[in-house]
Amino acid sequence: MPRAALLVLLPALLAGGCSTQPQQAASRPPEPATSTGDLLPRAALPASPAKLSAPDDLWERIRRQLTLHTMHNAQIGAARDHYLEQARYLELIAPRAQRYLYHLVEAVEARGLPIELALLPLVESALNPFAYSNQRAAGLWQIMPGTADDLGMRRDWWFDARLDVEASTRHALDYLEKLNGDFDGDWLLTLAAYNGGGARVRRAIARNQARGLATDYWSLDLPRETRRYVPRLIALSTIVGFADGLDVDLPPVPNEPAFAAVDTGGQIELLRVAQLAGMDLLELRRYNPGHLRWATAPGDEHRLLLPTARVPAAAEALADLPPVERVTWEHYRIRRGDSLIRIAQRFDTGVDLLRGVNNVRGNLIRAGDTLMIPGGGDWARSLALAREGSTGVRRGYTVRRGDSLYEIARRFDVTIDDIVTWNDLDPRRYLQPGQALTLFLDGG
């Protein structure tokens, strides 16, 4: 499974040199062919950490369960140094860790899986659930469309489960568990298969077997990206495990839930929910990135994630919301011979409303296109909400002399890793005047 185009996914703020080795691991010899990837599941870890009181900080909770952080070889050392060279990245990634990381840790621990898997979305997407790669992988776990379909993940006009924090985590861990079974419990081979595909890893193993060579991860001839992928996760665990020794200032992340689900009681506009919860629409979308439109998806499941402090008031307000203030939306595919007048009559609505909701000029519509049809409730208010709640404006930008990723990110209120991911950039290379970039800006 290809990850997002982002190459640099966890830096640190160092006071000393970037190549400083953790004191605890400095005496370990390189072990490129002897580390087989036998990570211990949480249930098999020594009992002593479990006897400690629960830490206030989530990084400490992770640190107590790490099993890979003392592994070292040249590839891991290079990946670690590369992370440490990236200044200010922790500052940018901190809000995402505070928002999503607790859920990842809880999900991994609940299955008794290696805690390092909770760090995998930092490698995949820099903890950005909106991330897309140039190969169409998406979400925290960078799941490809074909893989999503194989896993039975919902992907339609309304909703993409690859972007949903809960759904993507559940399916990604299902997939990792399956791969781990395919590779006889070897977690390094499992991770390689998650990145490069199980068939590719099996072919590499078969080639080595035919030549009488070792078949562990470090001995296989794998694509360049997959050869870098596993060392990145191990290096990341080293940085978390030896943060103090490396003079790394990990952003504090409370060891408590950041969000909880609330029942919306039916399909509803996201902006309406944000208003009832007393929060910003953009922040609501950050907790619910799987919802692709201004309203929640129709269907049997009506729930949204909200910051835990917002849940009680929002739940009460939603429960008291009268039906007349709810607006349902139907997704209608235009048929040959249809006209706006006929469609408006069929759904007992107005032509002007159809034009406004669907941004149609005049009367020209095409068979095969889709229209949003509002039904019930206050249509005029719903139209205003639809317009106000639109987000994700795509914008082109041409690099000017003197521009940097930092300056562009600050100017458009996005992060450096967003720009890198959207444009498949190597952040180690300088931008060139005249270079074309694509930005996705929030318009809500």
Q: Which of 85, 124, 269, 325 is catalytic?
A: 124
Q: Tokens standing for 304?
A: 């949204």
Instruction: Identify the DSSP state of 328.
Output: E
- pLDDT mean by block of 10 residues, the chain; 444 residues: 38 29 33 42 42 88 95 94 82 90 98 98 91 85 95 90 97 98 98 97 98 97 95 96 94 96 90 91 91 78 93 95 76 90 85 77 86 66 50 72 81 72 69 85 48
The answer to whether 124 is a known catalytic residue is yes
Please give the model's pTM, rounded to 2 decimal places: 0.74
Q: Please, are residues 255 and 102 in contact by the beta-carbon 8 Å criterion?
A: yes
Q: Tokens standing for 154?
A: 């919902």
The tens digit of pLDDT for each residue in 201-248 reads: 999 999 999 999 999 999 999 999 999 999 999 999 999 999 999 999
Give residue for tokens 């034009």. 355
> Is residue 419 left, alpha or beta, with left meaning phi > 0 and alpha meaning psi from -120 to 50?
alpha
Instruction: Identify the DSSP state of 142.
Output: T
- Residue 408 CA, chain-centre distance (Å), reads 22
The tens digit of pLDDT for each residue in 100-139 reads: 999 999 999 999 999 999 999 999 998 989 888 878 899 9
Give residue for tokens 């952080």. 69
> Sign (positive/negative) of CA torsion 217, 222, 226, 232?
positive
Taking Cα atoms as reference points, which of 191, 229, 257, 244 lies closest to residue 58? 257
Taking Cα atoms as reference points, which of 425, 383, 32 lies closest to residue 231? 32
Domains detected in the chain: 42-241 (1.10.530.10), 259-325 (no CATH), 329-368 (3.10.350), 393-441 (3.10.350.10)
Give residue for tokens 């914008």. 395
Q: What is the pairing mode between strands 328-333 and 370-375? A: antiparallel
Taking Cα atoms as reference points, which of 8, 11, 5, 21 lies closest to residue 249? 11
Q: In the prediction, which pLDDT does 248 show?
A: 93
